Chains A and B, each alone.
Chain A
Amino acid sequence: MVKTGRFLLLGMVTLLFAALALPLSAQDLGPGEGAPVVWPNFGGDPTNLNPLLISDRPSQDIADVIFPDFIDINPQTGNIDPNTPNSIADSWTISEDSRTYTFHIRDDYFWSDGTPVSSQDVKYAYDAIVSGEIETPLNGFLTGIESLEAPDDRTVVVTFTEPDCTALSTLKTIPPVPSHVFEALFGTDYAQMNNADYDLNPTVTGGIFNFANFRAGEQVTLVANPDYPATDAPGGVIPEGFIQRQLANQTVVVDEFLAGNLTLIDSVPDDRRAELEQMAANGDLQLFKSLSSGWQYLAFNLADPANPQDGLDADGNPIDQGHHPIFGDVRVRQALAYAVDYNALNQGAFAGNGIPVASPLLTTSWAYNASLNPYLYDPDKAMALLDDAGWIDDDNDPSTPRVAQGALYAEDGTPLHFAITSYSGNTAVDSTLVLMQDQLSRVGFDVTLDILEFQTMLDKLNGQSFDTIMLFLGGFDASNPDELKALYTAEGDVVNSGFNSWSYDNPELAQLFDEARTVPNCDTEQRKALYDKIQQILYDDLPIYYVNTTQVPVVAQADVKNFDPLPLSLKWNIYGWSQVPR
Chain B
Amino acid sequence: MFRYILKRAIQSIPLIFGITVLTYLLMTAAPGGPVGALTFKPGTPPQEREKLAARLGVNDPWIVQYMRWLLGDDWMRWDSDGDGLADHAVLLPLDADGDGKAEAPGTSRGVIRGDFGNSFVSRRPVLDVLSERLPATLELGVASLVIGVFVGVVLGILAAVRRGGWFDNVTRIVAVVFNAIPSFWLGLMLILLFGAQLQLLPLQGRCKATISDSCPPIYDRIQYMILPTFILATGLVAGYSRFTRASMLDIINQDYIRTARAKGLNDRAVWFRHAARNALIPVATFLGPAITGILSGAVITETIFSYPGVGRTIVQAVQQRDYPVVMAVTIYAAIATIFGYLLSDVLYGIIDPRIRYD
Contact = CB atoms under 8 A, between A and B. Distances in A.
In the complex, are there CB atoms of A and B closer than 8 Å?
yes
A454 B45 CA distance: 21
A38 interface: yes
B278 interface: no
Contact of B204 (A261, A458, A459, A496): A261
A252 B52 CA distance: 37
Contacts of A473: 42
Given A36-B210, A195-B123, A217-B133, A498 B46 contact: yes
B245 interface: no
Interface stretch (B306-314, B334-342, B348-356): B306-314
A215 interface: yes
B38 interface: yes
Given A252-B203, A252-B204, A456 B195 contact: no
A497 B49 contact: yes
Interface in B113-144: 118, 121-124, 129, 132-133, 136
Contacts of A217: 132-133, 136, 307-309, 312-313
Nearest to B308: A217
A199 interface: yes
B98 interface: no
B195 A259 contact: yes
A221 B213 contact: yes
Contacts of A255: 191-192, 195-196, 203
Contacts of B47: 132
B43 A499 contact: yes
Interface stretch (A133-141, A157-165, A279-287): A133-141
Nearest to B121: A47
B30 A455 contact: yes
A199 B123 contact: yes
A458 B45 contact: no
B163 interface: no
Nearest to B191: A252
B157 interface: no
A200 B42 contact: no
A564 interface: no
Interface in B176-214: 188, 191-192, 195-196, 199, 202-206, 208-214
Contacts of A212: 211, 213
Of B122, B132, B188, most buried by chain A (CB within 10 Å of CB) is: B122
Contacts of A454: 32, 37, 319
Given A36-B211, A252-B192, A255-B192, A44 B308 contact: no
Contacts of A249: 204, 303-304, 306
Interface in A471-503: 473, 483, 486, 494, 496-499
Contacts of A200: 122, 124
Interface string B306-349: 11110011001001110000000000000000000000000000
B43 A141 contact: yes
B263 interface: no
A483 B210 CA distance: 39
B321 A455 contact: yes
Given A195-B123, A200-B122, A215-B214, A252 B206 contact: no
A247 interface: yes
A388 interface: no
Nearest to B302: A248
B41 interface: yes
Contacts, number: 163
B341 to A, nearest CB: 29
A462 B36 contact: yes
B55 interface: yes
B203 A259 contact: yes
Interface string A137-155: 1011100000000000000
Interface string A252-275: 100110110100000000000000
B238 to A, nearest CB: 25
A466 to B, nearest CB: 13
Contact of A223 (B37, B129, B208, B211): B211
B31 interface: yes
Contacts of A252: 188, 191-192, 195-196, 203-204
B48 interface: yes
B254 interface: no
A137 B41 contact: yes
A251 interface: yes
Nearest to B99: A132
A221 B211 contact: yes
B357 to A, nearest CB: 40
Given A137-B48, A456-B31, A458-B32, A247 B306 contact: yes
A246 B204 CA distance: 10
Contact of B319 (A36, A48, A240, A453): A453
B51 A135 contact: yes
A384 to B, nearest CB: 36
A249 B319 CA distance: 15
A195 B205 contact: no
Contacts of B49: 496-497
A55 B211 contact: no
A467 B350 CA distance: 65
B39 interface: yes
Given A252-B195, A453-B319, A456-B32, A219 B123 contact: no
Given A246-B308, A247-B204, A256-B204, A261 B124 contact: no
A455 B36 contact: yes
Contact of B42 (A44, A219, A499): A499
B28 to A, nearest CB: 13
Interface string B267-304: 00000000000000000000000000000000000111
Interface string B70-101: 00000000000000000000000000000000
Contacts of A243: 209-211
B2 interface: no
Interface in A192-212: 194-195, 199-200, 212
A55 B123 contact: no
Given A215-B308, A219-B209, A252-B196, A137 B39 contact: yes
A213 interface: yes
A446 interface: no
A457 B33 CA distance: 11
Contacts of B203: 252, 255-256, 259, 261
B40 interface: yes
Interface in B135-155: 136
A457 B31 CA distance: 9
A135 B55 contact: yes
Of B44, B213, B215, most buried by chain A (CB within 10 Å of CB) is: B44
A212 B31 CA distance: 38
Nearest to A46: B122
Given A195-B118, A248-B303, A259-B203, A135 B52 contact: yes
A349 to B, nearest CB: 23
20 contacts: A44-B316, A136-B48, A137-B48, A213-B213, A216-B133, A221-B211, A245-B205, A245-B209, A247-B204, A249-B304, A252-B191, A255-B203, A259-B195, A454-B32, A455-B321, A458-B36, A458-B37, A494-B46, A497-B44, A497-B49
A-B pairs with lowest CB-CB distance, top 10: A217-B308, A455-B32, A497-B46, A255-B196, A459-B32, A216-B132, A137-B41, A140-B43, A248-B306, A458-B36
Given A218-B206, A455-B32, 14 more contacts: A137-B43, A139-B45, A194-B55, A217-B133, A217-B136, A217-B313, A247-B306, A248-B302, A252-B191, A255-B192, A256-B203, A456-B31, A456-B32, A459-B36
Interface of B: 30-33, 36-49, 51-52, 55, 118, 121-124, 129, 132-133, 136, 188, 191-192, 195-196, 199, 202-206, 208-215, 302-309, 312-313, 316, 319-321
Interface of A: 36, 38, 44-45, 47-48, 55-56, 132, 135-137, 139-141, 194-195, 199-200, 212-213, 215-219, 221, 223, 240-241, 243, 245-249, 251-252, 255-256, 258-259, 261, 453-459, 462, 473, 483, 486, 494, 496-499
